[in-house]
Amino acid sequence: MKRDFLNLFDLSSDEHKALFHRARTLKEARKQRRVVNTMAGRTLIMIFEKASTRTRLSFEAAMAQLGGHAIDLSAANSQMARGEPLADTARVAGRYCDVVMMRTFGDERIAEFAKHCEAPVINGLTDGGHPVQILTDLFTIEERFGTVAGKTLAFIGDTASNMGRSFTEGAKLFDYQLKLASPKGYHPADDVVKLAPGHVHLVSDPREAAKDADVIITDVWTSMGQEAESKKRLADLAGYQVDAALMKLAKKDAIFLHCLPAHRGEEVMGDIIDGPQSAVWDEAENRLHVQKALIETVVQASDRLREMGPALKAARG
Ligand code: CP
Ligand code: NVA
């Protein structure tokens, strides 16, 4: 028995609040270079089937700073690339470690892995979501404004992406209004939008979304795995660039977020991402603090479930 974190719904609203509180404490501890070793003797296995800079660095640094150890298993250099079944890799990895972070393609792959892995699994990005990034983005918004509840977030561009989906999942849980501005064919599917009734608004005009927003967000126009469609995507999304004119429509104290990597001159202009309203470097740093709190949350919850296991089995008869 264990607690996975495959999407934002895997934690309750109260657990999200506790996680942000813990992340703030851990951020302060890091600032003061106070040692926190809640993961001493523990191991994280990181499985990458797609490229990464921030996710790899922040998870490994998080584990090391908590007194534990991280192993980076690049799928391309493992037996996975030679056809070993995912379930077998999951069974073996789960016996070596206390927690797994996986970055992969289809959501069915991470679900399959989690099903066969006895250690808790954290989603480090799939085609259908990037929940650790969205947790971090919401934490960053709270850091700037005190709360994310009641704020208006405008996501401009390819909102059908993993980022768009996870922001949609978060809207009701964290009680924010989400305006998704995309051309035809680039909005999330209806079943995704239905996850947050009354909180998500689909528009085609980026100016309508940006008007009076507290936060302006964008992401790359071609996500990992979509490279073959890149030319068409650039043409379709050309009118959805975040530039100074769009930022001006938002509230005066609005911030700009981008999970990175960014393409200056495509989805965002350089003067915005490098300008005074940009919070992207805090956003990137906060991956470290939020993920530390998340690792603690799933490992400690899984420990408790394991301890309670025999009693629960007995109670069920
Ligand atoms: N934002 C993010 O997940 O970055 P990487 O792809 O570099 O890990
Ligand atoms: N939507 C992007 C996010 C990168 C962190 C991608 O999947 O490539």
**What is the C-alpha to C-alpha distance for residues 289 and 143, in angstroms, rounded to an integer?**
12
With H, G, I as helix, E, B as strand and everything else as coil, classify residue 191: helix
Residue 198 has phi, psi (to 5 degrees) of 80, -5
Q: What is d(CA 248, CA 216) in angstroms, rounded to the nearest whole number? A: 11
Contacts of 53 (CB under 8 A, 6+ apart): 260, 261
Which residue range forms the structural domain that includes residue 62? 8-129+284-316
Catalytic residue status for 103: yes
Question: What CA–CA distance (Å, rounded) separates 305 from 61?
Answer: 27
Whether 182 and 214 share a structural domain: yes
Same domain, yes or no: 111 and 67: yes
* 296: in domain: yes
- Ligand 2 nearest atom to the CA of residue 219, by list position: 1
Residues 128-155: pLDDT tens digits?
A: 999 999 999 999 999 999 999 999 999 9
Better-predicted residue by pLDDT, 26 or 317: 26
In a domain, 1, yes or no: no
pLDDT tier, 163 (very low <50, low <70, confident <90, very high otherwise):
very high
The answer to whether residues 70 and 122 belong to one domain is yes
Q: What is the CATH number of the domain that holds 58?
A: 3.40.50.1370
Residues 58 and 136 in one domain: no
Q: Residue 33 is encoded by which pair of tokens?
A: 């270079």
Give dist(CA 213, CA 247) in Å, integer.
9
Q: What secondary structure letter does DSSP report for 228?
A: G
- Band of residue 298 on the pLDDT scale cut at 50, 70, 90: very high
Nearest bound ligand to CA 260?
A: 1
For residue 47, being part of any structural domain is answered with yes
* pLDDT digit string, tens, across residues 89-137: 999 999 999 999 999 999 999 999 999 999 999 999 999 999 999 999 9
- To test the pocket of ligand 1, the residue of 46, 47, 49, 55 to mutate (highest count of ligand atoms within 8 Å of its CB) is 55
In 3D space, the residue among 161, 158, 148, 297 whose CA is nearest the CA of residue 213 turns out to be 148
Three-class SS state of 2:
coil
pLDDT averaged over every residue in the chain = 97
Determine, yes or no, domain membership for 258: yes
Q: Are residues 174 and 77 in the same domain?
A: no
- Same domain for 143 and 181, yes or no, is yes
Cα separation, 160 vs 190, in Å, equals 11
Is residue 2 domain-resident? no
Sequence-ordered list of residues with C-beta below 8 angstroms from that of 295, at least 6 positions apart, any chain: 39, 44, 59, 62, 63, 66, 99, 122
Q: What is the pTM of this model?
A: 0.97
CB 125 within 8 A of CB 162: yes
Residues 191 and 92 in one domain: no
Q: Which of 133, 158, 199, 233 is catalytic?
A: 133
Q: Residue 312 has what pLDDT?
A: 78
Residue 273 maps to a domain? yes
State the pLDDT at residue 315: 83
- Cβ atoms of residues 158 and 181 within 8 Å: no
153 with 56, same domain: the answer is no
Give a yes or no: residue 200 inside a domain: yes
Residue 317 pLDDT > 90, yes or no?
no
Average pLDDT over residues 226-242: 98
Mapped onto helix, strand or coil, the DSSP state of residue 317 is: coil
| Cβ of residue 224 lying under 6 Å from some atom of ligand 2 | yes
Same domain, 236 and 251: yes
Together in a domain, 94 and 201: no
Query: Do 155 and 277 share a structural domain?
Result: yes
Indicate whether 212 and 158 sit together in one domain. Answer: yes
Q: Whose CA is nearest to atom 1 of ligand 1?
A: 259
Higher-scoring residue by pLDDT: 300, 317: 300
- The domain total for the chain is 2
| 276 exposure class (CB count in 10 Å sphere: 0-12, 13-18, 19+) | exposed
Pairing verdict, β 43-48 and 69-74: parallel
- Please tell me whether residue 156 adopts helix, strand or coil conformation: strand
pLDDT digits (tens, 9 = 90+) for 185-215: 999 999 999 999 999 999 999 999 999 999 9
Whether 3 maps to a domain, the answer reads no
221 half-sphere exposure, CB direction, 13 A CA radius: 25
287 included as an active-site residue:
yes
Active site residue 259: yes
